[in-house]
C-alpha cells in the first residue's frame, strides 16, 4: 500500500527494499532517501515523464552537477529550486503520494 504522508514514507526506510506495488517514482525516491543514489538514478532515468525528469534533476542537483540538473529541471518544466535538497525530497515524495 502506498504511504499517505511523508512520515509514513519515512517509516518504511528501515526495510530492505521499497514495496513492489509502489509507483516507480516513489521507489526511486525511497532509494535516494536511503542513501542509494545509484539505484535511485537507475530508476529515475527510465521514467519518461515530467516526474521522472524532476527526480532526475533533483538527483543531479544532489550530485553537484548543476548544468545537468538544470537541463532536467527544464525537461520537467520546473524552476531550479531555491530550497534545500531535504525540502525538495519531501516535496517530491508528497507529489507522488
pLDDT in tens, 63-74: 999 999 999 999
Residues in the chain: 97
Considering only CA atoms, which of 76, 46, 21, 39 is closest in space to residue 91? 76
Residue 48 lies in a domain: yes
pTM of this structure: 0.96
Q: 84 Cβ partners below 8 Å, 6+ apart?
A: none
CA distance 32 to 71: 20
Is 1 within a domain?
A: no
* pLDDT tens per residue across span 38-62: 999 999 999 999 999 999 999 999 9
- Domain holding 65, by residue range, is 6-95
Q: Is the predicted pLDDT of residue 80 greater than 90, yes or no?
A: yes
Whether residue 36 lies inside any domain: the answer is yes
Three-state DSSP class for residue 83: coil
- ∠ at Cα 75 (74, 79), nearest 5°? 30
Amino acid at each position: 500500500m502506498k504511504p499517505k504522508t511523508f512520515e509514513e514514507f519515512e517509516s518504511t526506510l528501515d526495510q530492505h527494499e521499497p514495496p513492489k506495488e509502489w509507483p516507480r517514482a516513489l521507489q526511486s525516491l525511497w532509494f535516494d532517501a536511503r542513501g542509494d543514489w545509484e539505484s535511485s538514478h537507475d530508476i529515475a532515468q527510465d521514467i519518461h515523464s515530467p516526474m521522472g525528469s524532476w527526480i532526475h534533476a533533483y538527483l543531479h542537483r544532489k550530485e553537484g552537477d548543476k548544468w545537468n540538473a538544470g537541463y532536467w529541471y527544464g525537461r520537467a518544466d520546473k524552476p531550479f529550486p531555491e530550497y534545500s535538497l531535504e525540502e525538495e525530497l519531501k516535496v517530491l515524495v508528497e507529489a507522488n503520494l
